[in-house]
Amino acid sequence: MTYALNGKRVWVAGHRGMVGGAIVRRLASEGAVVVTVSRSEVDLKDPAAVRGWVEKTEPAAVFLAAAKVGGILANDSFPADFLYDNLMIAANIIEASHRVGVEKLLFLGSSCIYPKFAEQPIREDSLLTGSLEPTNEWYAIAKIAGIKLAQAYRKQYGADYISVMPTNLYGPGDNFDLNSSHVMPALIRKAHEAKLRGDKAVTVWGTGTPRREFLHVDDCADACVHLMKNYSDFEHVNVGSGDDVTILELTQMVCDVVGFKGEIVHDLTKPDGTPRKLMSADKIRGLGWKPSIKLKDGLASTYDWLKAHGV
Ligand code: GFB
């Protein structure tokens, strides 16, 4: 093990989000002292506010899970927000962490950092070898900047900062708003409401042919803790399930789990985005980690969560 969390003060930045919340849950068994701060107390886009809070709190380790996130339409509609907010959040937290001597920091990115037509499965060294997918290039550029910040502070100051690139995530606490969400929560909600209303059809955006790799957020949190403890190097690490499905196959799975028996129709005015982004899992498997939640089981428990908590 390269880094022990036991007894350490650990800041989970973005604890109200799906990923940050899962990391907080996962840290409960690590003996760490988890610290968090609400958006009303500290605006993570404000350098002085972030610096002040980090100086006061003095975390030993940081999980940088705070970000402005959203699905394909939100990314395409609000490019300035996705670029500016995510650049500021990453730069402020990484710089403040360096100033107070944070021992270890883990930055969370996204599989959309890779070129639109990267060779599949996508290896870590595909980064910056081609053009990005236009619907999410703004978010991707901010996330690439975050990886480069972590690498730059490692190179210049010897800081132990690492980066993790999760695939498309889903699970409890996801955003189920149909305009801003990712595909998985959108389809679960659409199928659920269509069933309740007795609709004849459910609408899927785009052609249904793009392929996506899905990982349950609790598996992602487990991988992040594993890497925080066991990985210390320059290159980012992919975190995925190793399998992908078409959007149409996913829709059929969702309809089965929800019990919606109607038709599937396509809204071709909506974008498909990247045709495929299956990440290579070789590196993280070599580091001794693999996922444990199967897509069907994760989907069913996420649907249960939606029924229990509402949207
Ligand atoms: O999950 P999603 O919004 O994001 O969409 P991306 C994935 C695929 O599902 C696209 C299709 O081909 C969508 O057209 N899709 C079908 C739907 N029906 C729906 C629906 O009702 N809602 C949504 N949202 N999609 C995002 C990036 O890309 O993924 C982010 O924009 C980030 O930057 C994130 O990387 C993980 O996988 O296309």
Task: Report which residue type is found at 236.
Answer: H
Per-residue pLDDT of the chain (311 residues; tens, 9 = 90+): 789 999 999 999 999 999 999 999 999 999 999 999 999 999 999 999 999 999 999 999 999 999 999 999 999 999 999 999 999 999 999 999 999 999 999 999 999 999 999 999 999 999 999 999 999 999 999 999 999 999 999 999 999 999 999 999 999 999 999 999 999 999 999 999 999 999 999 999 999 999 999 999 999 999 999 999 999 999 999 999 999 999 999 999 999 999 999 999 999 999 999 999 999 999 999 999 999 999 999 999 999 999 999 88
pLDDT of the residue at 311: 82
- Give the closest residue (by CA) to ligand 1 atom 9: 183
Q: Using CA atoms, how far apart are residues 268 and 256, in angstroms rounded to an integer?
A: 23
What's the CA-to-centroid distance between 182 and ligand 1, angstroms? Answer: 5
Instruction: Using a cut of 0.95, tell me whether the model's pTM lies above it.
Output: yes
Q: Using CA atoms, how far apart are residues 263 and 125, in angstroms rounded to an integer?
A: 41
- The finding on whether 214 has its CB within 6 A of some atom of ligand 1 is no
Q: Using CA atoms, how far apart are residues 27 and 24, in angstroms rounded to an integer?
A: 5
What's the CA-to-centroid distance between 307 and ligand 1, angstroms? Answer: 22
pLDDT of the residue at 209: 98
Please report the DSSP string for 68-129 in residue order: ----HHHHHH-HHHHHHHHHHHHHHHHHHHHHHT-SEEEEE--GGGS-TTPPSSBPGGGTTS
For a mutational test of ligand 1's pocket, the pick from 205, 245, 254, i.e. the residue with the most ligand atoms closer than 8 A to its C-beta, is 205
- Give the closest residue (by CA) to ligand 1 atom 25: 183
Residue from 3, 84, 114, 139 carrying the catalytic annotation: 139
What's the CA-to-centroid distance between 4 and ligand 1, angstroms? Answer: 36
pLDDT of the residue at 225: 98
Q: Using CA atoms, how far apart are residues 114 and 100, in angstroms rounded to an integer?
A: 32
pLDDT of the residue at 2: 85
